[in-house]
Homo-oligomer: A and B are copies of this chain.
């Protein structure tokens, strides 16, 4: 049948796009971990060419023709779900990429570079004024891009389509308000508790762990959560990340001698991302359905392993003795309860990437609210630092003293693809708490397993219920499939309340 031929050809074209993406991933990994310092200029040429090739590959007129032929064929109705989903996912991507004029793509790339270098300078001098003109130009281009994609939709929703398909900013606003209102009282109770964490139990001169020990720890942890080192590796980079696909998924970490916990939780976090990719269903490799679903779902998996498992009291009941054995006498004097409190310290702060499990979501919600309003024009670049600082005062109670620790703290608004991606971090928390609630029904004694260091049932549950669905469903549908419920932030709040009331004793 002709439609089957067309479908096969379409998948073959996508296959090549996917393989180019894999190559791009290897180059990125190499850039961050191994590349000689002088290699930057050559690598830029390589990455730029790959970006062009990927764009060309997916915007070929041939793909448009194949999509049209397949979808207008009456036999399309009898395609199975996987086949239909593949067609739909390719169509989405094709439409998205062909709608943007080529010169706008180039302008966005160029302006991102200019804005990034303005950001660097502005951050060094803690002076937003140096950033504002280039940021304003970038924002206008981003808005232009959004209009090309869909001029009739709320701008932020157009971006969400790329990262969290099926979500809307209206829905996010409701969800995030519930999260905010749930988190505020928890923070207050933690802060006013008499049982305050003692960080000297985990960090500082006396708790120094050699790189050698930390590397051993990293390997052991990764294996413990079934990250497969025959399909991956652990390297060092400035910021931890995961990159890869199926049988070659690499994670990185950053070791600090005087704070083992930094790499410890990074490795768990990235291994969470890593196993998601490693356990995608083999039969879908190179197809759109064989991808991970969204940034929110990815983040749910990393945070599940890092926080719900790795920072749980049950995990440390099992692991603290192991840690003591592995590290000699560094933690010999440490007691379980105080240790658990130390690694779960709650404290409102100014810098997102240093934030704890409770306050982190507020950092992200602030960005979402500002970004949403920047895109509609409700906030102008001129107002940005004032609004940023107001929100930090209001939500986190901290005084931002200069732009370097405020709105300029990280590079993300310097790049055109930095817009729309943040909500995934809070959604990850919402999703994974909801998953944990379901898991606790399916495996009533999962806490008992953790205490014994038996993580297999939990990982298997994630593989079966999350990873194996790959990209068959958009996030809202997938969450329903996994948990039997629509997206519901009450589980996250309940999880935080239960955990932190015990730790902080309120």
Tell me if A19 and B245 are in contact (CB < 8 A): no
Tell me if A247 and B34 are in contact (CB < 8 A): no
Chain B residues with Cβ under 8 A from A259's Cβ? Answer: none
User: Shortest beta-carbon distance, A34 to chain B, in Å?
Assistant: 7
Tell me if B36 and A19 are in contact (CB < 8 A): no
Q: Is A229 an interface residue (CB 8 A)?
A: yes
Tell me if B245 and A36 are in contact (CB < 8 A): no
Q: A36-B247, A39-B247, A246-B42 are in contact. Are A16 and B231 (CB under 8 A)?
A: no
The CA of A35 and the CA of B248, in the complex, are separated in Å by 8
Tell me if A34 and B228 are in contact (CB < 8 A): no
User: Shortest beta-carbon distance, A46 to chain B, in Å?
Assistant: 5
Q: Is A332 an interface residue (CB 8 A)?
A: no
Q: Looking across the interface, which residue of chain B has its beta carbon closest to that of A229?
A: B36
Chain B residues with Cβ under 8 A from A49's Cβ? Answer: 16, 19-20, 23
The CA of A246 and the CA of B45, in the complex, are separated in Å by 13
Q: Is A215 an interface residue (CB 8 A)?
A: no
Tell me if B231 and A38 are in contact (CB < 8 A): yes
Tell me if B27 and A23 are in contact (CB < 8 A): yes
Partner of A34, one of B19, B27, B34, B39: B34
The CA of A43 and the CA of B248, in the complex, are separated in Å by 9
User: Shortest beta-carbon distance, A384 to chain B, in Å?
Assistant: 38
Q: Is A272 an interface residue (CB 8 A)?
A: no
Chain B residues with Cβ under 8 A from A46's Cβ? Answer: 19, 22-23, 26
Q: Looking across the interface, which residue of chain B has its beta carbon closest to that of A232?
A: B36
Q: Is A220 an interface residue (CB 8 A)?
A: no
User: Shortest beta-carbon distance, A255 to chain B, in Å?
Assistant: 19
Q: How many A residues, CB 8 Å from partner?
A: 35
Q: Produce 1/0 per residue, A38-59, CB < 8 A to B.
A: 1101110110011001000000
Q: Is A438 an interface residue (CB 8 A)?
A: no
Chain B residues with Cβ under 8 A from A37's Cβ? Answer: 230
The CA of A246 and the CA of B19, in the complex, are separated in Å by 27
Q: Is A233 an interface residue (CB 8 A)?
A: yes
Q: Produce 1/0 per residue, A215-248, CB < 8 A to B.
A: 0000000000000111111000000000001111
Q: Is A30 an interface residue (CB 8 A)?
A: yes
Tell me if B42 and A22 are in contact (CB < 8 A): yes
**Using a CB-CB cutoff of 8 Å, which residues 89-126 of chain A contact chain B?**
none
Q: A36-B231, A230-B38, A231-B39 are in contact. Are A50 and B30 (CB under 8 A)?
A: no
Q: Produce 1/0 per residue, A135-152, CB < 8 A to B.
A: 000000000000000000
Residue picked from A15, A20, A26, A250, most chain B C-beta under 10 Å:
A26
Q: Looking across the interface, which residue of chain B has its beta carbon closest to that of A43?
A: B248
Partner of A23, one of B23, B39, B286: B23
Residue picked from A23, A34, A37, A245, most chain B C-beta under 10 Å:
A23
Tell me if B53 and A53 are in contact (CB < 8 A): yes
**Using a CB-CB cutoff of 8 Å, which residues 236-292 of chain A contact chain B?**
245-248, 250, 286
User: Shortest beta-carbon distance, A258 to chain B, in Å?
Assistant: 24
Q: Looking across the interface, which residue of chain B has its beta carbon closest to that of A34?
A: B233
Tell me if A41 and B247 are in contact (CB < 8 A): yes
The CA of A43 and the CA of B246, in the complex, are separated in Å by 12
Q: Looking across the interface, which residue of chain B has its beta carbon closest to that of A53?
A: B53
The CA of A23 and the CA of B30, in the complex, are separated in Å by 11
The CA of A27 and the CA of B34, in the complex, are separated in Å by 13
Tell me if A42 and B233 are in contact (CB < 8 A): no
Q: Looking across the interface, which residue of chain B has its beta carbon closest to that of A249?
A: B36
Tell me if B42 and A248 are in contact (CB < 8 A): yes
CB pairs A–B below 8 angstroms (14 shown): A19-B45, A19-B46, A19-B49, A22-B42, A22-B45, A35-B248, A36-B231, A36-B232, A36-B247, A38-B231, A38-B247, A39-B248, A42-B245, A45-B286
Query: What are the nearest 9 A-B pairs in CB distance?
Result: A39-B248, A38-B247, A38-B231, A38-B230, A19-B49, A37-B230, A19-B45, A23-B46, A36-B231
Known: A15-B45, A30-B30. 10 other contacts (CB 8 A): A20-B49, A23-B23, A23-B50, A36-B233, A36-B247, A36-B248, A36-B250, A38-B231, A39-B247, A39-B248
